[in-house]
Amino acid sequence: MRIPFFPPDLFEADRRVLIDLVREIGTDPAQTFLLGPRTARFETELAASVGADEAIACGSGTSALTLVLRAMGVKPGDEVVVPALGCAPLAATVLNLGATPVFADVDAHTLVIDPDRAAEAVTPRTAALMPAHMFSVMADMPRFRELATAYRLRLVEDSAVAQGGVLAGVPAGRWGDAGVYSFVQVKTFGLAGEGGVVVTDDAELARSVRALRNHGQRARFRYDQVGYNSRFDEVLAAFGSYRLPGFAARLARRAAIADHYAERFADLPGVLAPPPGSDGRCYYVYTLLADRRDDLSAYLAAHGVASHVYYPRALPHQPAFAHAAPPGARWPNAESAAGRMLSIPVHPYLSDADVEHVADTVCSFAARIPVA
């Protein structure tokens, strides 16, 4: 049995639809390939799916974060509070605007940014808080909303991995002044190329993001501000509209797999699963904390199960970001997690037998009993 980490034949069932869409758009007499009517329709559908006033599709989730930060006026000298564990764009988007990421440690178990550590990181130069949802757990957004209000800060919700998650009745992406989703194929709502979206109810922010994604253009060839090329293409938009109705079922399958894992992994020695429950969960990736992580990874591989170490280092320990962190500072939970985390397959195309095999293999490793 071989179980890849991500499905290798993601859109096999959609092969004909996808290829036909490319032909339809390539030969459409309108010859509109970017930000056209299909994108507008997809934006409307996305906005409706999470109850947002505005959805602005752009080149990628990373780019979506950049556009939001720019639209909020983040500039050189500003600080943005970000998690000490996570994906590079959390720090890179801030640095590329000339601002400084201030790293706050994460919770030891949920691995999302700790609101108390974030509060301690606020200074007079702080322009925004940027919590991120990680793997399968949403950040403590009610607390971050309180903090943003109390300190009068902008709240950017890095919900790139969490489309479809809901916390206390509010969808991921809808807690911040703006949220983002990424459509790179591995995400919960992955598409057949790079793309992302900003969701917001803030009309002014939306207007600014719309201009910024297309060179800062207000009217044809009239540029009010220096903008980016971060546009969405019609093929992905049409494919997105086609895939959206099936999204809920795929999310439910992910949740069912994760529930099964949670049950099987409840009391394993040396292997800690994410906290059980469904509120504030979105199963992009299912990540264990294992004392003997590399052994577990090798054991899984020997039994045909691919696993992945997402972040072998805390963000402030990446060579690109170390200069932004205070010398000698530590982020104990992020550092510990970086040495122990291991992600296992949770995608919706796993069969029940696949899931059972993954669970059996993890359990047998923990019990040191060889799998038959």
Please give the residue ranges that form the binding site for other proteins (CB under 8 A).
Answer: 5-12, 15, 18-19, 22-23, 25-29, 31, 33-34, 59-63, 66, 76, 87-89, 91-92, 95-96, 98, 184-185, 191-194, 215-217, 220-229, 231, 233-236, 308-313, 318-321
The minimum distance between CB 289 and other proteins, in angstroms, equals: 17
Residue 358 CA to residue 371 CA, distance in Å, equals 11
Q: Which residues contact 351 (CB under 8 A, 6 or more apart)?
A: none
- Residue 107 or 233 having the CB closest to other proteins: 233
The minimum distance between CB 228 and other proteins, in angstroms, equals: 7
The minimum distance between CB 157 and other proteins, in angstroms, equals: 18
- Residue 255 or 325 having the CB closest to other proteins: 325
Residue 61 CA to residue 68 CA, distance in Å, equals 11
The minimum distance between CB 322 and other proteins, in angstroms, equals: 10
Put residue 250 in one of left, alpha, beta given phi > 0 → left and psi -120 to 50 → alpha.
alpha
Cβ pair 227, 216 in contact under 8 A: yes
- Residue 22 or 268 having the CB closest to other proteins: 22
The minimum distance between CB 85 and other proteins, in angstroms, equals: 13
- Residue 218 or 292 having the CB closest to other proteins: 218
- Residue 237 or 271 having the CB closest to other proteins: 237
Residue 176 CA to residue 69 CA, distance in Å, equals 12
In this structure, what are the phi and psi dihedrals at residue 27, rounded to the nearest 5 degrees? Answer: -110, 0
DSSP-derived secondary structure for 62-118: HHHHHHHHHHTT--TT-EEEEESSS-THHHHHHHTTT-EEEEE-B-TTT-SBPHHHH
Amino acid at the residue 190: G
- Residue 130 or 191 having the CB closest to other proteins: 191
Exposure on the CB side of residue 237, measured as CA atoms within 13 A: 26
The minimum distance between CB 309 and other proteins, in angstroms, equals: 6
The minimum distance between CB 258 and other proteins, in angstroms, equals: 22
- Residue 127 or 166 having the CB closest to other proteins: 127
| Residue 74: closest CA among 115, 102, 53 | 102
